[in-house]
């Protein structure tokens, strides 16, 4: 069993604002997933990452800095679905992989179209689109997640797999530039269904689900400070975790989950 000391050192350093040069973890770390994993919304996009928009401030980058793994692979890509993960992101996995993180599922249900509809349509149009997405989450997404987790475990049999969820995007209070109360309620309900479904499939696969909803509570759109971007320019950064969300929401969640049992 790998020692927990490196993770303890890294977590302590994160809480006190500095990282010891000696903090390290045996094996490789591979970060998979979609725009929430690649860091869309956090800025500081790496040259050469193109449409994948991998950010220097994304939680996988911060986790890698904290744990100093033997090697860090970051194939997560904006727009990726479970199919994309299976077809394009598993090449770095292997016997040496010690840690895998993944955030995926939102693009399978066409998150971008859901948000576009809710921004441009009325309350009833938003609710109908959210209900269509919810039907997909209930009926089709579970099998896609099952295939994804099984493939990761087969390719990286020695790795700890952490499945990172999505936050609720909105606080219940209104604010300038925010959506209506009805739209916010519909979208937050959809986020809860997605989180609960993903958690259930992770449990069935025997891997750890990391729920970030409580961490982001009070810090959604209209929160103070907000860890989620509202509608901004460029619009592709909208409705994603910002730099604070990755640093104070996602990263501590990953590091703390590395200290706990599956």
From CA 103, how far away is CA 190, in angstroms rounded?
16
Whole-number pLDDT of residue 185: 95
Q: What is the CATH number of the domain that holds 202?
A: 3.40.50.1110
Residue 96 in domain: yes
Residue 171 in domain: yes
Domain interval for residue 90: 5-257
Provide the domain count of the chain: 1
Residue 218 in domain: yes
Whole-number pLDDT of residue 158: 96
Residue 166 in domain: yes
Whole-number pLDDT of residue 207: 97
Which DSSP letter does residue 250 get? I
Active-site position among 57, 73, 240, 246: 240
Strand 25-33 relative to strand 69-73, pairing: parallel
Active-site position among 35, 78, 226, 257: 35
Whole-number pLDDT of residue 65: 97
From CA 39, how far away is CA 221, in angstroms rounded?
17
- pTM of the full structure: 0.89
Residue 262 in domain: no
Residue 212 in domain: yes
pLDDT along the chain (262 residues), means of 10: 42 40 66 98 96 98 97 98 98 97 98 96 97 98 98 97 97 82 96 98 98 97 95 94 98 84 46
Residue 190 in domain: yes
Where b means 16+ CB within 10 Å and e means fewer, 72-111 reads bbbbbbbbbbbebbbeebbebbbebbbbbbbbbbbbbbbb
Query: Active-site residue 121, yes or no?
Result: no
Do the Cβ atoms of 208 and 159 come closer than 8 Å? no
Give CA 195 to chain center in angstroms.
Answer: 11
Residue 70 in domain: yes
> Going by C-beta distance under 8 Å and a sequence separation of 6 or more, which residues neighbour residue 176?
none
Query: Active-site residue 246, yes or no?
Result: no
């Amino acid at each position: 069993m790998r020692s927990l000391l490196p993770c303890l050192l890294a977590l302590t350093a994160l809480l006190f604002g500095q990282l010891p040069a000696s903090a390290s973890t045996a094996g490789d770390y591979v970060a998979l997933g979609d725009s929430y994993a690649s860091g869309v919304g956090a800025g500081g996009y790496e040259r050469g990452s193109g449409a994948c928009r991998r950010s220097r401030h994304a939680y996988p980058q911060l986790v890698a800095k904290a744990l100093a793994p033997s090697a860090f692979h970051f194939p997560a890509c904006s727009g990726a679905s479970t199919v994309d993960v299976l077809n394009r992101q598993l090449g770095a996995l292997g016997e040496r992989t010690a840690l895998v993180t993944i955030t995926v599922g939102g693009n399978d249900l066409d998150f971008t179209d859901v948000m576009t509809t809710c921004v441009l349509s009325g309350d009833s149009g938003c609710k109908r689109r959210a209900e269509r997405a919810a039907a997909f989450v209930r009926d089709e997404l579970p099998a896609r997640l099952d295939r994804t987790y099984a493939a990761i475990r087969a390719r990286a049999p020695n790795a700890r797999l952490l499945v990172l969820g999505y936050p609720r995007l909105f606080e219940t209070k209104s604010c300038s530039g925010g959506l209506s109360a009805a739209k916010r309620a519909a979208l937050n309900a959809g986020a809860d269904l997605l989180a609960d479904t993903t958690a259930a499939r992770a449990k069935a696969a025997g891997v750890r689900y990391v729920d970030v909803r409580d961490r982001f509570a009070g810090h959604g759109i209209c929160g103070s400070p907000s860890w989620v971007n509202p509608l901004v320019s460029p619009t592709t950064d909208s409705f994603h975790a910002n730099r604070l969300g990755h640093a104070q929401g996602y990263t501590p969640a990953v590091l703390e989950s590395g200290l706990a049992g599956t």
